Structure 1
Amino acid sequence: MTFLRRRPFRALAVALATTPLLLAAACSHASDTPAGSTESGSTKALPKTLVFSPLSLAPPALKGLSEGVKGLASGQGWEVIVQDPNFDATKQVQQLNEVISSGRAGAAWILAVAPKSLGDLIRTAQSKGVPLLVNGKPDEYGFSGPQPGITFDYIDYTAGGKALGEQLGKCITEKNGGTGKVLYVASQEGTAGKQEFDTAAAEAFKAAAPNATLAQTVVAVDRAKAQTDIGNALQGNPDLAGVFSANDEGALGAIGAFNAAGKKLNCVTDFGGNDEVLKNVKDGKIYASVALQFNDDTAQSFNTLVKMQADPKANGEVLIVPQKTFTQGS
């Protein structure tokens, strides 16, 4: 799921997103004549064909997402065309332009490699009345709000960071008397939402456990490196009482690092919530995970595209990926 968040994959891959999973500053609105209309006023119905363009099909998370989209849409009578730009922004635009310009596409779901590269494509889709769903906020595409025929779908990083910090503070209060040193495992520079997430997490932790101390911050690029870096941090701070991580790799790396050092980690919280993380929550190895609910987001995204097809000139929506906090007892 980290792929849905990561902005570097836009040069997200988020990213879908990651991002993926998302326009030039000036994009024209759709024309006053609906797509497919003739001068007599008759309207040609859009095909029930959904084009899904993720960042790439190489990451298992994105391959799995493509299968989920295909299963959901096919079950409702839609044909699904899955494209693979392989993190190439130019290739993504070319692939999408081909199916939209040819009239094959009835709607498109785009996890943009480079949002601002989609300006001409968006104008083409608007002129043809083909609704789009893109990942990210409107301002990532140069817009100030909802646009005709375009729905934006983004992760609320401020809310996620706040929940992450609150849960670690709660754990430190319950299990360590509200005191002790903690380690923050951040996402790498350029990750979507990094600044707002990091700030919200730190402020929420301080509010929830004011007598605890943030001793150090490390960056998690992948699980193996995160385990090594956290192990090094643990050598310098052998009395660490907790870890909160901005991604799954950091949380799992923290468990590995503490295990390798023969130390018990009572308080670790995570943002992301992949299957392995949630199993660790259930087993009591991770105190809490703020999990992104991508299944729910897939359903709301597809349903929104179906609704938009009926009136592609109307402004789309601004959707937020649902989040849910899991603890051992939940």
Structure 2
Amino acid sequence: MKKVKLVLVMALILALAACSTDEPGSKKETGSKDSDGSYKIGFSISTLNNPFFVTLGDGAKEKAKELGADLTVVDAQDDASKQASDVEDLIQQGVDLILINPTDSEAVVAAVESANSAGIPVITVDRSAEGGEVVSHIASDNAAGGEIAGEFLVEIVGEGAKVAELEGIAGSSAARDRGEGFNNVAKEQLDVVVKQTANFNRAEGLTVMENILQANPDIKGVFAHNDEMALGALEAIEAAGKDIAVVGFDATDDAVQSVQDGKLKGTIAQKPELIGKKAVEAAVQSLKGEKVEASIPVELELIKE
């Protein structure tokens, strides 16, 4: 009889242990907190080799500290494959929500869908995703910013002037939208003689601009999809001893200083710190079960002499 009771007790213990253990790959309920009472948020940033995204991350960290959230930031290094791997790592770490600043808006879809499958909500930041379920998208209106840049360049160089466009990473929503906005203005008022990508990179902006100047020595203006490319282009222009108006996008510290120094003609201020703060704020609101708008805009501003 005692042996029967002992068997029954052991069976009960094993049953309770099985019920309390998560199945492999299972995810804790959305909105659950860490043992210390904080939400775990992962943030995959496209690159931390760009001052704009460093500031974006800093804003997110500041807001996370203020709200008592546990924020993990990972750097995709402008590599869509690494970003996918980083997101998988965040999923395995059991974060409650993932913020994603896509390197490539199309390539990131698989990563978003992986998070969806794991029951982890996703919020996109600055650049959008072409698919997958997203709680919210926090960004400036890049198309509107491109139009502002186009109108400003027309004001400087005059209608019909020959200009060049330095494009961002192909496949990123920022490059697509900024280019679309700029060309909405340029197609009627400017002569865009060349468009070439420099992948949002200053060194590439310098090299690409050198090549453009050799083939098109008579251009009067340049619109670059971000400040890093704009500053690189400016170096090439100065080295060539030419006077060509350059307009950038992002209003990084280096770009704003260049405007103040009378070199860069202007830049579109996107306020990355504020974008980062709003992203974390929206994440915490969502995890608390509060309503979050599907699109949260951050205002733009033209910085000029």
State whether TM-score is above 0.5. Answer: yes
Residues 1:152 and 1:305: Cα distance change in structure 2 (over 3 Å):
same
Unaligned runs of 5+ in 2: 1-27
**2:11 paired residue number:** none
Residues 1:79 and 1:184: Cα distance change in structure 2 (over 3 Å):
closer
Distance 1:169 1:73 in 2: 41
Residue 218 (1) aligns with residue 196 (2): yes
Partner amino acid, structure 1, of 2:286: M
Partner amino acid, structure 2, of 1:172: V
TM-score w.r.t. length of structure 2: 0.73
Distance 1:139 1:83 in 2: 18
Contact 2:64/2:71, CA 8 A, preserved across alignment: yes
Contact 1:218/1:230, CA 8 A, preserved across alignment: no
**Percent sequence identity over matched residues?**
22
Distance 1:193 1:57 in 2: 14
Unaligned runs of 5+ in 1: 1-33, 37-42
Any idea what SS the aligned residue of 2:137 has?
A: strand
Q: Which moved more, 1:196-205 or 1:159-168?
A: 196-205
Residue 92 (1) aligns with residue 70 (2): no
Any idea what SS the aligned residue of 1:286 has?
A: coil
Distance 2:143 2:266 in 1: 17
Contact 2:162/2:221, CA 8 A, preserved across alignment: yes
**1:190 paired residue number:** 171
Any idea what SS the aligned residue of 2:248 has?
A: strand
Distance 1:83 1:278 in 2: 27
**1:77 paired residue number:** 68
Contact 1:51/1:83, CA 8 A, preserved across alignment: no
Residue 256 (1) aligns with residue 235 (2): yes
Partner amino acid, structure 2, of 1:249: E
Contact 1:181/1:215, CA 8 A, preserved across alignment: yes
Give the superposition deviation at 1:276.
Answer: 1.0
TM-score w.r.t. length of structure 1: 0.68
**1:276 paired residue number:** 254
Instruction: Flag the structure with larger Rg.
Output: 2
**2:141 paired residue number:** 156
- Number of matched residues? 267
Distance 1:223 1:112 in 2: 19
Contact 1:296/1:322, CA 8 A, preserved across alignment: no
Residues 1:228 and 1:115: Cα distance change in structure 2 (over 3 Å):
same
Give the superposition deviation at 1:171.
Answer: 1.1
- Cα-to-partner distance string for 1:297-328 (whole Å, 9 max, x where unaligned): 1222222222223216x565322343221111
**1:110 paired residue number:** 100
Residues 1:251 and 1:71: Cα distance change in structure 2 (over 3 Å):
same
Partner amino acid, structure 2, of 1:276: D
C-alpha RMSD of the superposition: 3.2
Any idea what SS the aligned residue of 1:140 has?
A: coil
- Cα-to-partner distance string for 1:215-261 (whole Å, 9 max, x where unaligned): 32333233233223322322333332211111223311221122111
Structure 1 or 2: more helix by fraction = 2
